[in-house]
Amino acid sequence: MTREEIEALINEFNAQVGSRAWTSARAGHDTAIIDALKEAGIDISAICNGSTISFSKKVTLNEEGTKIIVAQ
């Protein structure tokens, strides 16, 4: 997966930040984003603890392109 594709996934994630709506379609969408990031080898520990995903803050990719970090 290219850095551009990873950043597109991050943009999709950030579009969900702050949304209180919850449907099964959104759950599937969010899970697909997380799964794709994991498959790309991205460290997602800043947003996912293995059982829950936090959409409280926007994120970005670190300089090395290996880890999700909370945006400043």
Number of domains the chain contains: 1
Instruction: Enter the pTM of the model.
Output: 0.87
Q: Which domain holds residue 50?
A: 3-70
pLDDT digits (tens, 9 = 90+) for 3-61: 999 999 999 999 999 888 778 888 899 899 999 999 999 999 999 998 888 999 999 99
* CA atoms of 43 and 16, how far apart (whole Å): 19
Q: Name the burial class of residue 68, with classes exposed (0-12), middle (13-18) and buried (19+) by CB atoms within 10 angstroms of its CB.
A: buried
Residues sharing a CB contact under 8 Å with residue 56, sequence separation 6 or more, in sequence order: 17, 18
Which residue type is seen at 24? Answer: S
The backbone region for 14, taken as left when phi is positive above 0, alpha when psi lies in -120 to 50, beta otherwise, is: alpha
Q: What is the pLDDT of residue 20?
A: 80
